């Protein structure tokens, strides 16, 4: 087995975890979730896991020639590829838009222009165009940085927590039902392009348990997300949180590290930026591998083209 094709479980777990976090961290639908937020979150995490596994195994099964009839196989691949590509593009645009809007509204109102967007998309396209190893090594380093940031901010935020916000009553079925669709869209649906990417990129190089990194990654990302949700919930309470545009970002801004280090903002931007960057890069990679199955000659040009289309979508639509 080639060294480049050896299973790299930890790298993939890191990549999947950061993808799971993605722009969901920025736009977690608190306004719809309200009282049913925790229950909806747990249900969404389970659904995300199912979506990811189905997409991963579905793609692997379709593309590994197990359907005997050529026409049937081609039809199945096309029918599978179109929705996957549409979702990948939707989440690439969504991830970029959310990050740029967030930066424009909170931190860099005059700098977050087209040049910044172009640089961001170029980096994402670069990661997806280069060898998988480059993106995975970056993901692993980023994962530990994000994990440390989330943990440090959570621990620093403990003095601000109010116990009464944690004593929420179990929400009614109607409340969970009302909140579930929006949480599912933000949290579970992105798992479809991720699953397809993992299957098509042959991430395990023929490993025995291809589901293991996916399950561990989604659980790690979901765990980090849960920590962020809990921090927000315990700081502000569900009602006030619903009125905030970027609740987690607001929750970590009231944290002070000791008597002199107030507003550790740079730390809090790290998870937002890295998770969005890797989600967009994985979406571009998903497009590269899915479309590349049918157009192998232009495969390496798909990420730059996707970045260009994303840029156009960001500023024209």
Partner 1 sequence: MKQIAFLLSAALILLSFSGCRAVEPEEVYLISALGFDRVEDGVRLVAEVPLTRENEADQMEVRLFEGSGKSIPSALEDMKNGLARQLEFGHCALAVLGEGIEEETLDWVLECLSEWQVPLSATVVFSPDARALLGRGSLSAPAVGYELPDILRLISKSRGVSFRCRVYEVASSGGDFQIPRFLPNGEEVAEVDRLAGVCVYRQKKAVRIE
Q: How far apart (Å, rounded) are the C-alpha atoms in residues 277 and 283?
A: 10
- Least distance in Å: CB of 49 to partner 1? 29
Dihedral pair phi/psi, residue 261, rounded to 5°: -90, 90
Cβ neighbors of 135 (< 8 A, separation 6 or more) are 15, 127, 128, 278, 281, 282, 285
- Least distance in Å: CB of 240 to partner 1? 4
- DSSP result, 97-139: HHHHHHHHHHT-TTT-SHHHHHHHHHHHHHHHHS-HHHHHHHH
SS3 at position 306: helix
Based on CB atoms, which residue is closest to partner 1, 12 or 44?
Answer: 12
- Least distance in Å: CB of 245 to partner 1? 9
Based on CB atoms, which residue is closest to partner 1, 85 or 277?
Answer: 277
- Least distance in Å: CB of 248 to partner 1? 13
- Least distance in Å: CB of 184 to partner 1? 27
Based on CB atoms, which residue is closest to partner 1, 136 or 186?
Answer: 136
Based on CB atoms, which residue is closest to partner 1, 64 or 263?
Answer: 263
Binding site for partner 1 (CB under 8 A): 103, 106-111, 116, 119-120, 122-123, 126-127, 130, 134, 137-138, 235-237, 239-240, 243-244, 250, 253-254, 256, 262-263, 265-266, 269-270, 273-274, 277
Based on CB atoms, which residue is closest to partner 1, 178 or 250?
Answer: 250
- DSSP result, 161-177: --HHHH-PPPPPHHHHH
Retrieve residue 10's tokens. 């930890």
Which of these, 153, 152, 162, 157, lies nearest to 239 by C-alpha position? Answer: 162
């Amino acid at each position: 087995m080639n060294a480049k094709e050896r299973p790299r479980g930890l790298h993939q777990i890191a990549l999947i975890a950061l993808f799971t976090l993605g722009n969901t961290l920025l736009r977690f639908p608190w306004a719809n979730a309200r009282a049913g937020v925790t229950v909806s979150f747990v249900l969404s995490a389970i659904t995300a896991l199912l979506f990811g596994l189905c997409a991963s195994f579905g793609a692997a099964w379709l593309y590994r020639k197990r359907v005997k009839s050529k026409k049937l196989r081609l039809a199945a691949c096309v029918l599978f590829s179109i929705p996957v590509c549409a979702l990948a593009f939707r989440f690439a645009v969504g991830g970029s838009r959310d990050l740029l809007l967030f930066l424009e509204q909170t931190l860099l109102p005059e700098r977050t222009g087209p040049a910044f967007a172009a640089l961001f998309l170029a980096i994402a396209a670069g990661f997806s165009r280069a060898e998988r190893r480059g993106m995975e090594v970056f993901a692993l380093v980023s994962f530990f940085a994000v994990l440390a940031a989330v943990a440090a901010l959570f621990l620093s935020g403990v003095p601000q927590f109010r116990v009464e916000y944690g004593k929420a009553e179990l929400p009614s079925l109607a409340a969970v039902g009302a909140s579930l669709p929006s949480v599912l869209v933000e949290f579970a649906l992105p798992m479809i392009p991720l699953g397809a990417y993992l299957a098509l990129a042959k991430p395990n190089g023929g490993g025995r348990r291809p589901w293991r990194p996916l399950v561990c990654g989604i659980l790690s990302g979901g765990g980090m997300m849960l920590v962020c949700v809990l921090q927000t919930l315990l700081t502000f309470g569900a009602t006030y949180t619903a009125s905030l545009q970027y609740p987690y970002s607001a929750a970590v801004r009231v944290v002070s590290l000791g008597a002199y280090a107030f507003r550790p903002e740079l730390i809090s931007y790290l998870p937002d930026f890295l998770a969005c960057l890797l989600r967009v890069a994985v979406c571009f990679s998903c497009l590269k591998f899915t479309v590349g199955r049918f157009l192998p000659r232009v495969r390496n040009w798909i990420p730059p083209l996707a970045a260009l289309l994303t840029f156009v979508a960001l500023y024209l639509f």
